[in-house]
Each structure stands twice: as C-alpha cells, then as structure tokens.
Structure 1
Amino acid sequence: MKSVTITFFSLLMLLGSASLMAQEFQGRAHYMSKTTMDMNNFGGDQMSEQQKKMIAERMKNMLEKTYILSFNRTESIYKEEEKLVTPGGGGGGRMGGMMGSFTAGSQYKNVKDQQLIQDQEFFGKQFLIKDSIPQLEWKMENESKQIGQYLSFKATAIKKGNDLDFGNMRRRNRNNESTRDSTKTNSGDVIEVPKEIIVTAWYTPQIPVNQGPGEYWGLPGLILEVNAGRTTILCTKIEINPTDKVEIKAPSKGKEVTKKDYEAIVKEKTEEMREMYGGRGRGRN
C-alpha cells in the first residue's frame, strides 16, 4: 500500500509540474556540503583531543563548503560560492596541504548531450576536463520525506570508489586485504579507499529537471539531498524562474584532458609527494 501511495503522489507531482514544463524554466539551488573525517586514519590516534580539535578547525574550510547549482531543462553549472577565507584556516598538516592543492572551478553538465566539462586547478596548473557524464544505476525506494516545501522521494545507487577521494579514505580492515588502492601512513598503518560507496539521494518531481549537485543527476526531479560515504550535500534554498536571468556557460580555459587522463596526472603527482614525504620527516604529523 505504501508503494502505491508514493507512486500516486509521484504522479500528482509530475502532473502538477506540467505547467512548468510548458514554459521557459530555469532556477538556482543552493547547497551545503559537509565531509566528516576520522583523523585516526591519519595518525590522529597519536594526538591529544586538543590537537585533533585544532586540526579539525583548520580543515573546516576544505570540509564544509557551499555551492550554487544554476539549471534549466537540459543544462546546469555547479560552482562553489565565494567566501572569505579565515586567516590560518587552510592548514591541516600534510593531508590538508594535499587536499588544498585541488581547486575545483565550475562544473557544467548537459544531460541532453551527456557532456560534462569541469574547470580544475591542480598545483597551480589549469585543466579543462571534458568527458561524458558519469552514469549511476538508481534504485527507486518506497520512502518519501518533506525537504522544505518539497515532497521528496528516496533513491539509492552504488558508485565505484575513487583512488583520489581523500574524504573517504579509511584504515584498512586487516581481515580484508583485497583493496582497490592503498598506501601507508608514517606509522606504518595501511589506509584504503572503499571499492564501493553507497549513495542515497532525495529528489523532488515538483522541480522537473534531472539535475543535481556535483556528479549526481538522472532522477525524475531535482536532487535536493545526497549522502555518499562521509559526505552529505543538502539543498538550503531554491529559486525558480528568478527575475535576474540564470546564466549557464560552460568553462573553456585550461589544458583539455579526459577524466581518466586527469586522474592519471594527479595520481602520478600524489606518488611523487608520498615518496618525498616518505623519505624525510618520518614520524612528524
């Protein structure tokens, strides 16, 4: 009965949005992204609570961000909202320095042409990543909840772990040695990136676009919330057909590469840094 009820409500939402589909339709969605990090995976078990608190505060600017998704029926542009950086707030030691080397610019998605264009800076060099949009196999769940004024429905998917996803790194389970990618900390512990990450999304058919924050899209309505590993992305404000016209323009500056090529470049540089740090300053946090 619950499944039938949710399907019925979903149909009502789609019918109610028919008038929006018949007109020029655009909008902006504001998101807050927060990533939690278990510092015990990076030598935190050897720190005092005061040291952990200090490092967590210094890394806050990298782990808590706000974004704006500007969208129309087929395109979107997703970029970080500009804000003042707190003096001394960009630290966090070695891990903070590595994460701070990735400066993400605008991300353009065209769901009609299946195209993704990402403006990305890495160690002072500008890249323009051009590729197809990542595909997730969404499973519709029989759950709904209210997010602000929008009735939202649950969908889940499983995405492959990314070797460069520092936020989801963890200490290896010693009972499971079959890892996708791993490295050692200074203390000799092995950390890994999970092979698979469960993604939970909440979307609303009341906003009839199959867009969402970051790499997430492909549901019958705007994605308002995402939970993936240690990261939560939550929509905090929505503007539909604002008086000032929404501008969606794909980024165009930087060295053009595919996503696979870019990840290879980053991985090579990461290995260089591991060797550099591994050869000197052992035991320092």
Structure 2
Amino acid sequence: MKLLGIKLKILAAACLFSGVIKAQDFQGKAYYATKSKLDLGTWGATMSEAQKKQVQERLKNRLEKIYILTFNKEASIYEEDEKLDAISGATDSWGKNFAPGKQYKNIKTNTLKQNQEFYGKQFLVTDNLQDINWTLTTDTKKVGQYTCMKAVALVPTSDLYWYDFSWDRLRDNQAQNNSETADSLQTKSIKMSQIEAWYTPQIPVSHGPGAFTGLPGLILEVSADNTTILCSKIVMNPEDKTNIEAPRKGTEVSKKDYQEIVIKKMAEMRNMYSGRRGR
C-alpha cells in the first residue's frame, strides 16, 4: 500500500507539471559533478599511502569532472563542461580516449548518438538507449530543493562503460577467439554493476546523466561502482535556449563495433610495445 501511495504521488506530480511542459517551449539544464575513486588494484598494494595520494592528485582532472545535461520533454544532450579544463589548463590526452563524449539521447525514439574520439579518429556511436530494469523503492530524500525517490538496478558492467577499456576485456576477447577456451567462457559469470539512483517527480522527464534514463522523474544523483554523480544546479527554461539535435559527424558504428575497434587497437599497441621491449 505504501508503494502504491508513492506511485500516486509521482502521477500527481507528473500531471501537475505536464501542463507547464505543454504550455511553453520547455527546456532545462542540470549541472552534475562526477567523482570517481581510483582503483589501483595489485599495483596499488605495493604503494605507500603518500604515493597513492600523489597518483590520485595527478589524475584529479580525470576523476573529477563537471557535466551539463540540457533536456526537453523528449531529448537531451549530455556533455562535459570543458570551460573548466580550459581555465585550469588541465590536459589529459590519454584519458580522453576512454572518456564519454558528447551524448545525445532521445527517449521517444529510444536512440543514443554519442561522439567518441579515439586516437585522433572521430566516431559517431549509434545504438539504442541502455536498457535498465529499475526497481522503485519507497525511500525518499532531498537533493537540493527537490524531493527525490530511490531506484536500484543491476546492469552488466561492460554495457555501462562500453566507451572505456580494460585489459580484462582484451584477455576475454582473445580467449573467445581460442576454441580451446570458448567453452569455459560460456560459463564465466558476467560482472554486474549495482546502480542506486535518486530521481525527482517534481521534474517528470525520463532523463538523467550518462547512460541513466527511464525513471518517472529527472535523475539527480547516481552511484555506480566507484563513481558518484550529483546534480549541483538546475536551471528551468533558461533565457538562452540550446538546440538539442543529434550529432552527425564521425564514422557511424554501434557500441559493439566501437568496443571491437578499441580492443583491436590496444592489442596492436601492446604487441608493438612487447616487440620493442624484447629487442
């Protein structure tokens, strides 16, 4: 009964706000701060706390970023606020190869179009939106001035971070091409990411930062693996409107195709480096 009451509150808020959406050229901007913890793995086990802190500070501009989500009723653009990097003079050319690019999402057409640059080549990754089977809970809390509700989900980690690269993925890919280990891979467990999201029915649009969409309200906070995304500011109906249009530049590929391109290139680089070291 309590969950039913929560759902009725969501519906009431959506009905109240829908009139505002239809009555004007509706648009909003949400500003998100992202923070990631650096997983140093076995390498970190040999480091002192001072060394770990030094590495963390050196990679701060990769681990802490600001993104802007510009949205209307059906579509959104999610992109990094690169002005901050320009002001600070921070550069991370290596990290940009594995960071999410400018992202267009359309809820109505279930479409994702995302710009990705990989070693100087431009790609336009075109696919469906990430399929997330959310479970709504009755938990509530305030994020800024907005009352939010909690939702949780489990998503395959490789689906969530398809633009990134890991040596484990390269090893699995090579093993898949080996007939002797193909059977063992079929029984290998898939790594899953636990997602906790907080959304507000006060802004009843199904948008959110990054891959996170599909809830009955704008997502203001997300925790997934080592990353937390928190909305710090929302501007409703800004005076300067943004054209929310799908990008067109770049070689069009699917998420799966893009992953294969990255894995192939990284394998080539590893083999080239190993060959030089063996001389």
TM-score by length of 1: 0.80
Aligned AA (2:47):
M
Corresponding position: 1:196 with 2:217: no
Using the TM superposition, name which of 196-205 and 9-18 deviates more: 9-18
* Structural RMSD (CA): 3.1
The answer on whether the counterparts of 2:165 and 2:263 sit within 8 Å (CA) in structure 1 is no
- Aligned residue number for residue 187 of structure 1: none
Does the alignment pair 1:162 with 2:158?
A: yes
SS of the aligned residue for 2:116 comes to strand
Q: State whether structure 2 residue 253 is matched by structure 1 residue 252.
A: no
Is 1:63 aligned to residue 52 of structure 2?
A: no
| Aligned counterpart in structure 2 of residue 145 of structure 1, from 125, 133, 141 | 141
Partner of residue 189, structure 1: none
Q: Deviations over 1:17-72 (max 9, x none)?
A: 23323323211010011111222x05112223222222111111111111000000
How far is 1:103 from its partner? 5.0
Contact 1:27–1:240 (8 Å) recurs in 2: yes
Deviation, 1:132, is 1.2
Change in Cα spacing, 1:247 to 1:88, as seen in structure 2 (3 Å) is: closer
Identity of aligned residues (%): 45
- The equivalent residue for 2:215 is 219
Q: 1:4 Cα shift?
A: 4.9
Change (3 A) 1:161 1:90: same
Q: Structure 1 122/231 Cα, relative in aligned 2: closer, same or farther at 3 Å?
A: same
TM-score (norm 2): 0.82
In terms of fraction of residues, the more strand-rich structure is 1
Local SS of the residue matching 2:245 = coil
- Matching of residue 20 in structure 1 with residue 16 in structure 2: no
Paired position in structure 2 for 1:205: 201
Tell me what 1:76 maps to: 76
Q: Is the contact between residue 154 and residue 200 of structure 1 (CA under 8 Å) also seen in structure 2? A: yes
Q: What SS does the aligned partner of 1:249 have?
A: coil
1:239 equivalent to 2:235? Answer yes
Aligned partner of 1:78: which letter?
Y
Contact 1:76 1:109 in 2 (8 A): yes
Structure 1 residue 161: Cα displacement: 1.6
Secondary structure of residue in 2 paired with 1:262: helix
**Partner SS for 1:266:** helix
Q: Note the residue ranges of structure 1 that are not aligned, 5 or more in a row.
A: 92-96, 172-178, 184-192
Give the distance between the partners of 1:238 and 1:214, measured in 2 at CA.
16
Post-superposition CA distance 1:181-235 (Å, at most 9, x none): 799xxxxxxxxx9711111111111112111111110111111111111111111
CA gap 1:278/1:111 in 2 versus in 1, 3 angstroms: same
Task: Provide closer, same or farther for how the CA distance between residues 54 and 106 of structure 1 changes in structure 2, counting only shifts above 3 A.
Answer: same
Query: SS state of the match for residue 112, structure 2?
Result: strand
Contact 1:157 1:199 in 2 (8 A): yes
**1-side partners of 2:224 and 2:215: how far apart?**
16
1:129 counterpart letter in structure 2:
V
Structure 2 CA distance for aligned equivalents of residues 281 and 274 of structure 1: 10
Moved more, 263-272 or 150-159: 263-272
**CA distance in 1 between partners of 2:44 and 2:114 (Å):** 33
Q: Any stretches of 5+ residues in structure 2 without a counterpart?
A: 176-188
Aligned residues: 260
* Equivalent in the alignment of 2:35: 34
Q: Pick the aligned partner of 2:106 from 99, 107, 110.
A: 110
Contact 1:70–1:247 (Cα < 8 Å) also in 2: no
Change in Cα spacing, 1:245 to 1:266, as seen in structure 2 (3 Å) is same
Is the 8 Å Cα contact of residues 129 and 257 (structure 1) preserved in structure 2?
A: yes
| Offset of residue 255 of structure 1 | 1.1
Change (3 A) 1:152 1:168: farther
Report the counterpart of residue 51 of structure 2 in structure 1: 51
Which amino acid is 1:161 matched to? T
Shift of 1:124: 1.2
